[in-house]
Amino acid sequence: MSTTTWFVEPYGREKGHTNEVIARELTDDNAVRRSTTLGVKKIWRVPDHAFVTALSGMDGVKFRIFTQEGNGQIRLHSPKTFRKKRAKKSARKKV
């Protein structure tokens, strides 16, 4: 089973504010420049999906979510795809 790595990319008019909020929580080592399916991006590697959830609940914070499965390509996160994978995983555990 591969590990999912989570990334966020601040954007829009709130980009500066979003970067400040993230920088308060993470070290500079988490600010990375990586090739994604949308080209080379300056993104933040975040600890987990819980961090993304907490960040999305903050006022004035706007960002895109990217994920990487194992050593695969970094892709724009699709909540629908993620839900399907989670459903398959929990169905396997029930068996």
The string of pLDDT tens digits covering residues 55-80 is 999 999 999 999 999 999 999 998 76
Q: Whole-prediction pTM value?
A: 0.80
Residue 62 CB neighbour total at 10 angstroms:
15
Calpha distance 4→12 (Å, rounded): 26
Length of the chain: 95
What is the domain range of residue 72? 4-94
In this structure, which amino acid lies at residue 84?
A: K
| Residue pair 61/17 in contact by the 8 Å Cβ criterion | yes
What is the number of domains present in the chain? 1
pLDDT-based confidence at residue 2 (cuts at 50, 70, 90): confident
